[in-house]
């Protein structure tokens, strides 16, 4: 399997320009990608279908804590990056860490298509389109790709206090990884 590359932030502008000079159609999507689930996978596959190169911005641990609270993310950024690298639909990953500028990555990449979710940032879709629209060719808003979400999974695990919800999550992850030919064991063993 070809390894997805991480784009160092300081090389991002030059790197993306080279891709565009080669005629690539750049698609960008951003997120935390915590406790990866089937909705995330379907979302990224749908994003990839819109262009030739999919760049996935991933929120740093620091940024995630600032936005979602002290107990998030569940999965540390290094592991989240590695998981995204394993997905065939993801071409490049870039770590997003700027707490002050939510538009920075979009402004630097200037994607042909920016993919956002209807659930992005608590329904602030019009504000996002206004803030980021002039930095990209098109903004495509995708509906949720599954009935689950990371937040709902975490709530279910906490609420039930049982292993059942966690086992469902692990089974979902195993199926997603199997589909992509990735060896996965939910017991933490190699």
Give the CA dihedral 38, 61, 17, 115, nearest 10 degrees.
Answer: 40
Q: Which of 14-23, 50-59, 111-120 has the lowest mean pLDDT?
A: 111-120
- pLDDT of residue 164 exceeding 90, the answer is no
- For residues 128 and 121, the model is more confident at 128
Task: Work out the average pLDDT over 39-57.
Answer: 94
| Nearest by Cα to 144 from 74, 45, 42 | 42
53-73 burial code (b ≥16 CB/10 A, e <16) = bbbbbbbbbebbeeeeeeebb
Model-level pTM? 0.76
Alpha-carbon gap, residue 164 to 160, rounded angstroms: 8
Residues 116 and 139 sit within 8 Å (Cβ to Cβ): yes
Q: Are 30 and 113 in contact (CB under 8 A)?
A: no
What φ, ψ does residue 120 adopt, rounded to 5°? -60, 130
**pLDDT band at residue 1 under the 50/70/90 scheme:** very low
């Amino acid at each position: 399997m070809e390894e997805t590359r991480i784009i160092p932030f300081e090389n991002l502008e030059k790197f993306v320009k080279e891709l565009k000079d080669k005629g690539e159609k750049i698609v960008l999507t951003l997120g935390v990608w915590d406790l990866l689930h089937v909705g995330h996978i379907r979302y990224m596959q749908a994003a990839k279908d819109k262009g030739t190169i999919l760049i996935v911005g991933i929120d740093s641990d620091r940024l995630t804590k600032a936005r979602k609270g002290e107990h998030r993310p569940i999965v540390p950024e290094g592991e989240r990056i590695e998981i995204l690298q394993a997905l065939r639909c993801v071409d490049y990953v870039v770590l997003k860490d700027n707490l002050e500028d939510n538009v920075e990555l979009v402004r630097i990449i200037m994607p042909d298509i920016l993919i956002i979710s209807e659930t992005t940032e608590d329904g602030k879709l019009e504000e996002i389109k206004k803030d980021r629209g002039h930095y990209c060719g098109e903004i495509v808003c995708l509906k949720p790709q599954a009935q689950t979400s990371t937040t709902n999974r975490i709530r279910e695990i906490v609420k039930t206090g049982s292993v059942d919800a966690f086992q469902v999550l692990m089974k979902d992850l195993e199926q997603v990884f199997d589909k992509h030919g990735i060896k996965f064991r939910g017991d933490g063993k190699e």
